[in-house]
Structure 1
């Protein structure tokens, strides 16, 4: 069984021994593919180090997180682009719009989002979308930018069935994480009605830890709890969930 974590910040582990322990726990659980989304200019180097340490298992994305889109964001994005030269990347991300923390930067976030979508198209890469309290704003841009090159993952999906169908219609996959295990979130009912052909799995470690470890730091090894929950919802084996969602990730990322 091969499980794929399509979105993890496991590179936040700055202690080499701890990172090694967490990675071994992943391997023991069949989680052998980890995709690492960039956040800022400062996170490029730790991602590179993790990819170099685990070249068969870890794969880089590059982008500027919407919460980092502040004064001087263009300069930071230019640095990310420059430092990405020569690095094999498999998506532009994580990018998008976040109106949970700061609504005053909406225009700048929209500008940065569009610019990075353009960058992804130039590189013929998928995008990895961060969307928080901003579905309509993100969806509007995706509709505007829709063409044969626009594709990717709607990371950490937690919306309604109608929103899921809108995203799927645009040709995107839905990233399903720990929220699906939360009793009152309602995501389980949505996922139950969605074909596995449109889903990928993720942890967003160290955030959004699944039950039974909710409240503690997340790690990629906990992807098994998400996979099992999806399997239970669809009344199939976790091996089937792993096979389909990993194949979906290969379709998206090309590896």
Structure 2
């Protein structure tokens, strides 16, 4: 399995990070993709990338909830790092209008700028769009580069939104919400082709049932894979093979 989105550098794992990672390897996780948040998360993320080469792969980007008045300074740091290290993607970037819309304009500017950085460096993007799916889509359409690809991380939208993301050339990052009784993905996944899905946990957040409300960890991706299999009425092995193959295609250089 490939875990396409996990904050394994988080302080939530300060006491048992190595054990948590060992449980992930034991569960059959081949790679863990690490999204960045801001300048403060880079050192811990890169430390893991150095310790586990080829297994813990880092992205670089400014998370929308970290966008404040100083966002341009943060973007300068992200751009500088892009010139120094072979990151796999630009992320996690996007829009978040759930808690606070104070910096909406800055979020939009940061997203579009980071899309430019992604294309300049021939990388895909990892999108966070909480309560802002259509606002994010509008920005992607405004950017108007069909070569811009990536993942709508933590996709929890309806079928119309799923089809729109796929139409734009993006994959759907499916995590623990798929296991929630009222998560809504039971009305989406049966009607989406498996080739458009990748697996994630978003650890340490959004733990799947039966761990909902507790700290999430990468090994629980096995529960996500099983839930996707149940909803799509196929085997877990098929889900793992297909999603891993789709994920690996994102690692190929973009034009």
Q: TM (normalized to structure 1)?
A: 0.96
Q: List gaps (5 residues or longer) in structure 2.
A: none
For 1:188 and 1:92, locate their aligned partners in 2 and report how far apart those are by CA, in whole Å: 30
- Does the residue aligned with 1:11 lie in a helix, a strand or coil? coil
**1:121 paired residue number:** 119
For 1:88 and 1:13, locate their aligned partners in 2 and report how far apart those are by CA, in whole Å: 25
Q: List gaps (5 residues or longer) in structure 1.
A: none
Match for 1:159 among 137, 157, 160? 157
- Decide whether the 8 Å contact of 2:90 with 2:125 is kept in 1: yes
**1:4 paired residue number:** 2
- Decide whether the 8 Å contact of 1:146 with 1:170 is kept in 2: no
Question: After superposition, what is the alpha-carbon deviation per residue over 1:14-64, rounded to whole angstroms, capped at 9, x for unaligned?
Answer: 766611111111111101211000001000111100001111211110000
Q: CA 1:94–1:226 in 2, change beyond 3 Å: closer, same or farther?
A: same
Offset, 1:187: 1.3
**1:142 paired residue number:** 140
**2:63 paired residue number:** 65
Runs (4 or more) in structure 1 with deviation over 4 Å come to 13-17
**2:166 paired residue number:** 168
**2:18 paired residue number:** 20
Comparing 139-148 with 126-135, which one deviates more in the overlay?
Answer: 139-148
Question: After superposition, what is the alpha-carbon deviation per residue over 1:199-242, rounded to whole angstroms, capped at 9, x for unaligned?
Answer: 00000000010001111000111000000000111222111111
Aligned residues: 253
- Does the residue aligned with 1:10 lie in a helix, a strand or coil? coil
Offset, 1:252: 1.4
- Decide whether the 8 Å contact of 1:177 with 1:201 is kept in 2: yes
- Decide whether the 8 Å contact of 2:158 with 2:187 is kept in 1: no
Q: TM (normalized to structure 2)?
A: 0.96
Offset, 1:195: 0.8
